[in-house]
């Protein structure tokens, strides 16, 4: 079953024929994006082509057909394992301006990605074809490419490659796929630099932290002892601003005693900013420096990462807060069993408040399958890349660093998860899960919402914050929702 790969040169006139007034794909959009349609305003993203025809579920044959529509060249597409990859050429070179060719190139990349995804999992699965497409993609896209789309495509290509190999060798369930230890691969200095950059360039980290902290502050105004259980403390930066706020609060009893219990995982290797113990030491020193009574505890999870509430040490009279940051851009994915055990375990402890920050994904119908979710993930990260670019258009190296260190591995993890989950029931968000388990929504206060708006005002004005329901703030870029922060409680306010 030898593969014939002929590189043929063809004109991609089909795109030109479908063109509408062009804007660049990956940068700020001109068309009005409807605020309600938060998920799939493809036209914002790529107005040159009609995306609706391509959102998942299409027959692979048709896809290939349409890709060569109008090219007039020979193109073999067969159920057997021979296929040819079309070659695009500099047909634009003479007449089109840079924008248009950028669009075209971006489109090609997207199509190739979609084709690869389809080849991997679609009706006419073909590993060989997928492999060929990925080879082609690797040639076209590089992680240091000039445009967002190129770099994005490069990372997605790597992710798909990993899936392909994993599927082949059966190592798809290896932990490293889901929570890639980019911290090990990258030099520590890289990771630190990227983290600093990420914080400076985008509001994601601060949004999640500050929203949660404000909710916590409001709920403990009368308490003398506060106990926070943090699912994934990372480097502990969230608590620096909480401590500052606690120290300087004017009402209620003076600075309450703060106790933080951080969960640590045994198997995930050394993290970039040090271990949980180091974080604890750092926080303790910081607390001492600002006069915050503080103690730090460490709760080790077993290798299965299941949380057992009995491992916690609780003190009478303290206000218990559960803090669950998932999916901030520099976090790695945690296994859902672990998260589920944590959240349901905390229910038994009757916490005062649960703060949850997670990424906001568009709910995908089952019929769209892997490809649909793949495209949605592509859209999600494209928006993320765009948001970084819009704020800092000239600092492409800085952005490339952040993308390489954090977002790339996240993409790999994200695809691995949806690949693994294909065919299964679509997983709901953790927020929905919480309300299903019995937590009640707790109102986001005016101050919190106001703070989020002010924070975003410091960054590019493409960011926006929405209040969903009564207990959730969602940070979005243009029309795409990216990160949500919600607060929950076990008490019912009324009766």
Partner 1 sequence: MFHAKKPSTMNSHDRPMCVQGDSGLVLTTDPKPRLRWTVELHERFVDAVTQLGGPDKATPKTIMRVMGVKGLTLYHLKSHLQKFRLGKQPHKEFNDHSVKDSDRATSLELQRNSASSSGMIGRNMNEMQMEVQRRLHEQLEVQRHLQLRIEAQGKYMQTILEKACQTLGGEENMALPTRTFKGIGNHQGGLIPDISAAFKEFGTPPLTFSSFQDLNICGEHIDLHAQSSMGERSSSFDGFMNLSNTTTDHNLSLGKKRSSPYNTSNGKSPFMWSDDFRLHELGGGGSCLGSNNEDDHQIIQMERSCNPEIDSVSDIYESKPLLQDEKKFDAKLERPSPRRAAQVSSLSAQGGRNSVFG
The residues binding partner 1 (CB under 8 A) are 187-190, 192-193, 196-197, 199-201, 206, 209-210, 213, 222, 235-237, 240-241, 243-245, 248, 250-252, 273-274, 278, 282, 285-286, 288-291, 392, 394-398, 400-401, 446-447, 450-451, 454-455, 457-461, 493-495
Closest Cα partner for 229 from 99, 350, 135, 124? 350
Report the Cα 418 to chain-centroid distance in Å: 13
Q: Which tokens sit at 479?
A: 């029309």
Closest Cα partner for 262 from 203, 210, 311? 311
User: How many H-runs (helices) and E-runs (strands) does the chain carry?
Assistant: 18, 11
- Rounded to whole angstroms, the Cα distance separating 260 from 127 reads 49
- Rounded to whole angstroms, the Cα distance separating 307 from 231 reads 9
CB-based burial of residue 429 (10 Å sphere; 0-12 exposed, 13-18 middle, 19+ buried)? middle
- Phi/psi region, residue 482 (left: phi>0; alpha: psi -120 to 50; beta: rest), is alpha
Q: Which tokens sit at 179?
A: 């929570």
Closest Cα partner for 159 from 381, 370, 421, 415? 415
Report the nearest approach of partner 1 to the CB of residue 360 (Å). 23
Helix crossing, 204-219 with 237-247: angle to 10°?
Answer: 40
210/370 with CB nearer partner 1: 210
Report the nearest approach of partner 1 to the CB of residue 211 (Å). 11
46/460 with CB nearer partner 1: 460
Report the nearest approach of partner 1 to the CB of residue 77 (Å). 41
- Rounded to whole angstroms, the Cα distance separating 370 from 60 reads 13
75/286 with CB nearer partner 1: 286
Question: Parallel, antiparallel, or unpaired for β 319-325 and 225-230?
Answer: parallel
Report the nearest approach of partner 1 to the CB of residue 357 (Å). 15
Q: Which tokens sit at 158?
A: 């790597």
Asked if residues 132 and 5 have their Cβ atoms less than 8 Å apart, the reply is yes
418/475 with CB nearer partner 1: 475
- Rounded to whole angstroms, the Cα distance separating 150 from 129 reads 21
Report the nearest approach of partner 1 to the CB of residue 48 (Å). 27
228/301 with CB nearer partner 1: 228
From residue 493, give the alpha-carbon distance in Å to each of 255, 352, 489: 26, 12, 9
Report the nearest approach of partner 1 to the CB of residue 129 (Å). 35
204/370 with CB nearer partner 1: 204
4/493 with CB nearer partner 1: 493
Residue in this structure with the two tokens 């009995």, named with its chain if needed: 310
Report the nearest approach of partner 1 to the CB of residue 315 (Å). 19
Report the nearest approach of partner 1 to the CB of residue 155 (Å). 16
Which element (helix H / strand E) includes 359? strand 353-359
11/190 with CB nearer partner 1: 190
Report the nearest approach of partner 1 to the CB of residue 111 (Å). 31
Report the nearest approach of partner 1 to the CB of residue 137 (Å). 23
128/190 with CB nearer partner 1: 190
135/288 with CB nearer partner 1: 288
Report the nearest approach of partner 1 to the CB of residue 346 (Å). 20
Please give the backbone phi and psi of residue 101, each rounded to the nearest 5 degrees, phi first. Answer: -70, -30
Report the nearest approach of partner 1 to the CB of residue 319 (Å). 11
Residue in this structure with the two tokens 């019912």, named with its chain if needed: 492
Query: In sequence order, what DSSP letters do the residues of 428-483 get, joined into one string?
Result: PPHHHHHHHHT-EE-PPPHHHHHHHHHHHHTS-TTEEEEEETTTEEEEEETTEEEE
From residue 44, give the alpha-carbon distance in Å to each of 25, 199, 414, 479: 8, 26, 23, 9
187/308 with CB nearer partner 1: 187
179/279 with CB nearer partner 1: 279
């Amino acid at each position: 079953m030898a593969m014939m790969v002929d590189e043929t040169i063809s004109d991609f006139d089909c795109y030109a024929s479908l063109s509408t007034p062009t804007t660049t794909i990956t940068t700020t959009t001109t068309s009005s994006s409807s605020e309600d349609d938060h998920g799939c305003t493809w036209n914002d993203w790529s107005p040159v082509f009609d995306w609706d025809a391509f959102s998942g579920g299409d027959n692979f044959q048709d896809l290939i057909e349409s890709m060569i529509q109008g090219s007039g060249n020979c193109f073999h597409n067969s159920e057997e394992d021979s296929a040819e990859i079309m070659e695009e050429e500099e047909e634009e070179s003479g007449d089109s301006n840079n924008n248009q060719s950028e669009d075209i190139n971006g489109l090609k990349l997207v199509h190739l990605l979609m084709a690869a995804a389809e080849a991997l999992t679609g009706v006419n699965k073909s590993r060989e074809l997928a492999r060929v497409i990925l080879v082609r993609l690797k040639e076209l896209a590089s992680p240091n490419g000039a445009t967002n789309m190129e770099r994005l495509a490069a990372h997605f290509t790597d992710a798909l490659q990993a899936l392909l190999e994993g599927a082949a060798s059966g190592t798809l369930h290896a932990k490293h796929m889901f929570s890639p230890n980019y911290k090990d691969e990258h030099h520590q200095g890289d990771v630190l630099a990227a983290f600093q950059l990420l914080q400076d360039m985008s509001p994601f980290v601060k949004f999640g932290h500050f929203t949660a902290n404000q909710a916590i502050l409001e709920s403990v105004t009368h308490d003398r002892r506060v106990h926070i259980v943090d699912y994934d403390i990372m480097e502990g930066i969230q608590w620096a601003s909480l401590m500052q706020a606690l120290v300087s609060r004017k009402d209620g009893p003076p600075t309450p005693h703060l106790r933080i219990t951080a969960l640590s995982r045994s198997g995930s290797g050394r993290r970039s900013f040090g271990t949980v113990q180091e974080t604890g030491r750092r926080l303790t020193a910081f607390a001492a420096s600002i006069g915050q009574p503080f103690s730090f505890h460490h709760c080790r999870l077993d290798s299965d990462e299941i949380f057992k509430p009995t491992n916690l040490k609780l003190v009478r009279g303290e206000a218990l807060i559960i803090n669950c940051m998932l999916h901030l851009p520099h976090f790695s994915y945690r296994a859902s069993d672990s998260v589920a055990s944590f959240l349901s375990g905390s229910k038994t402890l009757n916490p005062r408040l649960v703060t949850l920050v997670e990424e906001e994904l568009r709910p995908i119908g089952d019929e769209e399958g892997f490809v649909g979710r793949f495209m949605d993930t592509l859209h999600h990260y494209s928006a993320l890349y765009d948001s970084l670019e819009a704020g800092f258009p000239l600092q492409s190296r800085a952005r490339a660093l952040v993308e390489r260190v954090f977002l790339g591995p996240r993409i790999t993890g994200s695809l691995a998860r949806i690949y693994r989950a294909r065919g299964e029931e679509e997983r709901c968000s953790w927020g929905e899960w919480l309300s299903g388990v019995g937590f009640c929504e707790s109102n986001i206060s005016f101050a919190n919402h106001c703070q989020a708006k002010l924070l975003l005002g410091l960054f590019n004005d493409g960011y926006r914050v929405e209040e969903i329901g009564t207990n959730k703030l969602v940070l979005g870029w243009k029309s795409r929702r990216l990160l949500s922060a919600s607060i929950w409680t076990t008490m019912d306010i009324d009766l």
